[in-house]
Amino acid sequence: MPISNAEKLDFIRRTWNLEETGAVPYVIEVGRPHHATAAYYNDDAAELTWHEEYHRRQAGIADFYIPNLKPNMGISNLAAAFGCPLKTVDDADPWVGHLVSNQDPGAARRIRKPDTGNNPIYARMAQRLAFLQANSSLPLRLVNVASPMVTASLIWDYTDLMMALLQYPAEVHALLEVITEATIDYVRWQLRHIKNLCTMGHEPEILPPEIGLRISDDTAALLSPALYREFAGRYNGKLAEAFGGVVVHSCGDCSRVVSAMLETPGLRGLELTIPQNTKWEAIQPAVGRIALSLRHKFWDHGPQAPDPVEYTQKILDCFGRRGVFILTSTDTFEEARSLGERLWPVLGPR
Residue 275: give the domain boundaries: 5-347
Q: Say which residues have a Cβ less than 8 Å from residue 164's Cβ, sequence separation at least 6.
A: 102, 105, 156, 171, 172
CATH number at residue 153: 3.20.20.210
In a structure prediction context, what are the per-residue pLDDT tens digits for the chain, which is 350 residues long? 679 999 999 999 999 999 999 999 999 999 999 999 999 999 999 999 999 999 999 999 999 999 999 999 999 999 999 999 999 999 999 999 999 999 999 999 999 999 999 999 999 999 999 999 999 999 999 999 999 999 999 999 999 999 999 999 999 999 999 999 999 999 999 999 999 999 999 999 999 999 999 999 999 999 999 999 999 999 999 999 999 999 999 999 999 999 999 999 999 999 999 999 989 999 999 999 999 999 999 999 888 889 999 999 999 999 999 999 999 999 999 999 999 999 999 999 98
Closest Cα partner for 322 from 291, 346, 282, 301? 291
- DSSP states of 95-148: EE--SB-TTSGGGGGG-----TTS-HHHHHHHHHHHHHHHH--S-BPPP--B-H
Total domains present in the chain: 1
Phi, psi of 231 (to 5 degrees): -110, -10
- CA 286, CA 229: separation in Å to the nearest integer? 17
Instruction: Give the H or E element holding residue 214.
Output: strand 213-216
